[in-house]
Every structure is written in structure tokens, then in C-alpha cells.
Structure 1
């Protein structure tokens, strides 16, 4: 699949199964990630890959964070949180590693990590995989951040769930006119 086709046909898919990207495909996907725009070559990202039993451990991190955020969480809520990482055979946490820099503000570093995440999603699609970028309270939870070895300044920009789609998502025609303006001064 060429680059333009990958960009205009990628669509999130929540229903994922095996196979996930193998070692060689994962290497290509990560090579695409680190080609993201990066002002001053800060490399403001970190990627953590979860597969197999590591997904269960990630689920326990999510569960413990929910308990801390919501002491009244029901067992059903805790079970759902614990099971989230089991919805795909591979998850990649994308973390923006923020550092003070005289030329590169925090927002640029977060955007760079977001661009790296997008490159992961498009590269996975180009290789025949599917995925969905998930965020929510878990991404902004200091307990999750700490459990993944991120500093207080770092920001999780998403958990990328990857695998093979169980059901091909419908690709609707996306209008561009409402979002594009040709400025003429």
C-alpha cells in the first residue's frame, strides 16, 4: 500500500484479534514513529509495547488507578477497567517525554509524540493491521504515569491498540470543505 492510500483509507477499528504485528513489522512501525516531526531533535517520546501477559499487568495498573480515582467504583467497573488491555493482542503506550527547552515549548513536544502515534497507526494500517487510539482518564492519571516509569512532567498521549480487525470498518466519504479555507488575505 502506498503512503497516500494508507493515509486516506486508515480508520479506527475497535474489534481486534490476532495476529498483531510481528517482530519485523513492529520494527518498521517504530521506524515510522521516530520519523515524526521533532523540533531540535529532542526525541520527545517513549514507546512501551504490551503483549501477552504484560497486557494483564497493564490491566491491573488501570484497575488500581481507578480504585484510587474512584473509591466507590463497583466490582463491575473494576473488572471492565482491568479487561481493557485484553481487547487487542498488542498495545503501544505513547508517552511524551517533556523537557524544558528554550526553543521547544511543552506543546510542541506533546504534538511530536502525537505525530509519532499517528505514524504508528498509519504504518500498522499500511502493513495490513488495524487499530484504535484510546485515551481517557487513564492517560491523565498520575498513578498510571508513575507505574509506566514516566516522570511527573511526562504525558501519556495514548494507548494504541493494534491487531487484526474482526470486522472491516465502513470507510465513509469524508468531506473536506467544512475544514479547509484558502486564505487570500
Structure 2
């Protein structure tokens, strides 16, 4: 028997939208809210029940400390950064009240292909966005240069053999949420099996 449609979920999915991190402000979620957001986030497809991901939650002053270190690395990589880009680097992890690193721990497994493990980490990222929205916060899934830089990853607590699936920025906003262009279905869908 088919379940009744969840109209509130359908309405949400029709308008789901990321908010740029630089448009975020306080308040962010409290620790109990974050724990609930994380509990919801891990309810994803996970072949083999191996949980091939983990989280690091950056809050408070630690975000500014890490951003200062990332700025140093950015200047070592590009000493001629403009003043504007220096400010961008200085605020990498302070734009939102909370930033959660989703770390893929995907590795060879006797039954579960590594690619499926990686996709499970991606599903966790999307669930984090939606769980934050369900709690009344805006969110954004970002990767930047420091998600692919070995020294930066070590600074951020990512271990050898792990990869960064994304940084989920969570907070509030005073900006209106606007729509962006989406692909037309005809551009991304092919039908195989005749007319329905």
C-alpha cells in the first residue's frame, strides 16, 4: 500500500536552497540542536552498516584560530594575495556560527565498494543541510582549496587516508533566500522503457 504524500516535505524540497556562508550570522544551533542535527544526518544509505564517515564540529574561537592558520598557508602559497582575498582567507571558518567537516573514511572493504562509501558521505552532507534547515537554520555545503591541501587537512583534524567530503556551514541569515537556475528535466533525464 502506498503511503500518503508528506506535503510539508514536498513543499520543502520544492524550495530547498543553500545560503552563501558570507550571508550567515548568529544565532547558530546550540549543542543539543547540533546533536539532533547530527543524529538526523547519519540516517543515510550505508551499505554494510559501516558508517564510512565521521564529523568534526568547529565552534567558538577555534574557528578564528584555524582561519588564521589557513590564512598563513594561503599567503605561503600565494604571497601576492589582494587585501580582499586576505580577508576572505581570514574568515574562512568564521562566516557561519558552526562549521561541520564531513570526513569520508572510505577504504577497501570485502563487501562494500569504496565508491558506495564515498557516496554515503555525500548523502550525509545533504542530510546535514536538510536537518539544519528543519531546525530553522540556513546551511551551505562548501569545499575550498583547504579541503584538498595536505597541510590544511592535518591542521583541521583529518587523518591520513581520509578525505574531506565537505564543510557544512550552519547559521541564521538576514538576507532573503532567492532561487537560482535549475536544469530542465529534458537536459538531465533520459527515459528507457517506453511511455508510462
Q: TM-score range by the shorter chain?
A: 0.7 to 0.9
Change (3 A) 1:99 1:168: same
Tell whether 2:131 aligns with 1:117.
Answer: no
Residue 134 of structure 2: aligned partner: 126
Tell whether 2:187 aligns with 1:178.
Answer: yes
SS in structure 2 at match of 1:171 = coil
Residue 3 of structure 2: aligned partner: none
Match for residue 15 of structure 2 among 9, 24, 33:
9
User: Are 2:75 and 2:81, in contact at CA under 8 Å, matched by a contact in 1?
Assistant: no
Q: TM-score, normalised by structure 2?
A: 0.83
**Deviation by residue 1:30-56 (Cα, 9 ceiling, x = unmatched):** 011111111111111111111110111
Match for residue 96 of structure 1 among 104, 109, 112:
104
Q: CA RMSD in A?
A: 2.2
Structure (1 or 2) with the greater helix fraction: 1
Residue 26 of structure 1: aligned partner: 34
Instruction: Measure how far apart 1:155 and its partner are.
Output: 0.6
Q: TM-score, normalised by structure 1?
A: 0.88
User: Are 2:102 and 2:167, in contact at CA under 8 Å, matched by a contact in 1?
Assistant: yes
User: Are 1:131 and 1:165, in contact at CA under 8 Å, matched by a contact in 2?
Assistant: no
Residue 59 of structure 1: aligned partner: 67
Larger radius of gyration: 2
Instruction: Measure how far apart 1:173 and its partner are.
Output: 7.3
User: Are 2:53 and 2:103, in contact at CA under 8 Å, matched by a contact in 1?
Assistant: yes
User: Are 2:102 and 2:166, in contact at CA under 8 Å, matched by a contact in 1?
Assistant: yes
Change (3 A) 1:5 1:27: farther
The number of equivalent residue pairs is 184
**Unmatched tracts of structure 1, length 5 or more:** none
Instruction: Measure how far apart 1:71 and its partner are.
Output: 4.7
Give the distance between the partners of 1:161 and 1:42, measured in 2 at CA.
25
